[in-house]
């Protein structure tokens, strides 16, 4: 389904990146105001703060709820920044609208639940407010797209996506794996959908914020949502990943923003070369498969099994080594040959069963 989109029309979204920042949670009125004033001094236009906090386990700080909404209203009144928060239920949506919240986002755990997303979408019918949809916790692009479609289906055309990474057992470096191929695929499908990167929840660590912001910019992402706190070490949630507004400003200042130039003479020439190599690749793969089918016929005639694991391991090892010599990672070579091998086996199976 196509998305019907309108520009977000936020105060800073005509420059890349546009930045949303503020604490993980609105803890106290004082913490909210101190952080907001510091951010406003640094030129931030959009303030975020979690009011309802989805926590993995009970017993943690689950947000101040409705009580915190007037604090955000005060931020808007005293700093002029727009205010944004997460909604997970229709009641949250209603309360946000009542308190003049300017921007809403749907959290990662909610995006993974189509019932919850539909309930939020129903509550948004007829309301013109920008809504961002975070990726679901699991790396399922259709679930992400489905949530965007549901919110868009309610008539919300000022829509954006937030890339906050994906849960994985492999969390040695990142709290949530970036898996950049997913936001890239989203951009390919919906070039007009703004994508905001959330380095705080991807990295889970202060020192990863700067490199993640840079990667997001190098990939042409539109904006950043970064958690900041006036006293990060004492934050009530996500303390390890929050930075002061001062540090945030430093990080943003160091970003190199490259222009998105889709083509030049030299790029065109190089792309032509790539097209020629791709032609040859497919041609050669076709020839390789033909030989595989001939081997299949031979195996059939001589009652031999298709899968000969020793030969397969040998191919992976040889080509892995060759790949390293020409600057291709062994993992990549392995993945390519696994696909080629799978197709070869399929083709031989067909011959044997003919
Ligand atoms: C948040 O933005 O504070 C948050 C809870 O994020 P996520 O939904 O990405 O976990
Ligand atoms: Mn957080």
Q: Measuring from each residue's beta carbon to the nearest atom of ligand 1, which residues come in under 6 Å?
A: 24, 50, 54, 86, 107-108, 134, 164, 201
Task: Check whether 262 has a pLDDT greater than 80.
Answer: no
Q: How confident is the model at residue 211 (pLDDT cuts 50, 70, 90)?
A: very high
Tokens of 281: 């690749």
Tell me the CATH number for domain 18-254: 3.20.20.70
Residue nearest to ligand 1 atom 9, measured at CA: 108
Task: Check whether 17 has a pLDDT greater than 90.
Answer: yes
Predicted confidence (pLDDT) per residue in 63-95, tens digit:
999 999 999 999 999 999 999 999 999 999 999
Question: Residue 181 — left, alpha, or beta (φ > 0 → left; ψ -120 to 50 → alpha)?
Answer: alpha
Calculate mean pLDDT across residues 116-136.
Answer: 98
For residue 50, how far is its CA from the centre of ligand 2 (angstroms)? 8
Q: How confident is the model at residue 12 (pLDDT cuts 50, 70, 90)?
A: confident
Calculate mean pLDDT across residues 40-44.
Answer: 97
Domain 265-352 has CATH 2.40.50.100: no
Calculate mean pLDDT across residues 279-296.
Answer: 95
Bridge partners, residue 213, by sequence: none
What is residue 186's predicted lDDT score, i.e. its pLDDT?
98
Question: How far is 136 from 108, CA to CA, in rounded Å?
Answer: 4
What is residue 170's predicted lDDT score, i.e. its pLDDT?
84
Angle at 226 between CA 222 and CA 228, to 5 degrees: 155
Task: Check whether 100 has a pLDDT greater than 90.
Answer: yes
Coil, helix or strand at residue 193: coil
Task: Check whether 97 has a pLDDT greater than 80.
Answer: yes
Calculate mean pLDDT across residues 131-150.
Answer: 98
For residue 265, how far is its CA from the centre of ligand 1 (angstroms)? 43
Whole-model pTM?
A: 0.85
In the chain, % of residues over pLDDT 90: 85
18-254 and 265-352 in the same fold: no
Up-side HSE of residue 272: CA atoms within 13 Å toward CB? 6
What is residue 192's predicted lDDT score, i.e. its pLDDT?
96
Which region among 59-63, 124-128, 278-282, 305-309 has the lowest average model confidence (pLDDT)?
305-309
Residue nearest to ligand 1 atom 2, measured at CA: 24
Atom of ligand 1 nearest to the CA of 50: 3
What is residue 133's predicted lDDT score, i.e. its pLDDT?
99
Which region among 103-107, 149-153, 236-240, 263-267 has the lowest average model confidence (pLDDT)?
263-267
Tokens of 134: 């975070």
DSSP 136: P
Sequence spans of domains, the chain: 18-254, 265-352
Other beta carbons within 10 angstroms of residue 87's beta carbon come to 25
Q: How confident is the model at residue 113 (pLDDT cuts 50, 70, 90)?
A: very high
Atom of ligand 1 nearest to the CA of 54: 5
Residue nearest to ligand 1 atom 3, measured at CA: 24
């Amino acid at each position: 389904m196509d998305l019907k989109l309108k520009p977000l029309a936020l105060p800073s979204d005509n420059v890349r990146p546009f930045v949303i920042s503020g604490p993980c949670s609105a803890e106290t009125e004082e913490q909210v105001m101190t952080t907001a004033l510091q951010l406003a001094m640094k030129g931030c236009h959009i303030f975020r703060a979690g009011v309802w906090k989805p926590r993995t386990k009970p017993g943690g700080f689950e947000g101040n709820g409705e009580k915190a909404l007037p604090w955000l209203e005060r931020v808007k009144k005293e700093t002029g920044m727009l205010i944004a928060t997460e909604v997970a239920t229709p009641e949250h949506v209603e309360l946000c609208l009542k308190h003049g919240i300017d921007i809403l986002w749907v959290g990662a755990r909610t995006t993974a639940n189509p019932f919850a997303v539909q309930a939020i979408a129903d509550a948004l019918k007829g309301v013109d407010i920008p809504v961002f949809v975070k990726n679901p916790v699991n790396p399922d692009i259709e679930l992400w797209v489905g949530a965007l479609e549901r919110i868009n289906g309610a008539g919300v055309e000022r829509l954006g996506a937030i890339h906050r990474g994906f849960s994985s057992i492999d969390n040695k470096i990142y709290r949530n794996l970036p898996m950049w191929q997913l936001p890239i695929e989203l951009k390919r499908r919906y070039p007009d959908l703004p994508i905001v990167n959330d380095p705080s929840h991807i990295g889970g660590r202060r020192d990863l914020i700067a490199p993640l912001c840079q990667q997001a910019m190098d990939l042409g992402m539109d904006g950043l949502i970064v958690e900041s706190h006036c006293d990060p070490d004492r934050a009530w949630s996500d303390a390890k990943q929050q930075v002061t507004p001062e540090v945030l400003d430093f990080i943003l200042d160091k970003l190199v923003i490259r222009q998105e130039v889709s083509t030049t003479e030299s790029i065109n020439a190089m792309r032509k070369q790539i097209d020629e190599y791709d032609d040859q690749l497919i041609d050669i793969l076709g020839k390789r498969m033909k030989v595989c089918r001939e081997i299949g016929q031979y195996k059939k005639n001589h009652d031999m099994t298709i899968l000969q694991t020793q030969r397969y391991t040998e191919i992976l090892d040889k080509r892995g080594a060759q790949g390293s010599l020409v600057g291709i990672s062994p993992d990549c070579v392995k993945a390519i040959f696994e696909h080629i091998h799978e197709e070869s086996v399929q083709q031989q199976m067909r011959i044997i069963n003919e």
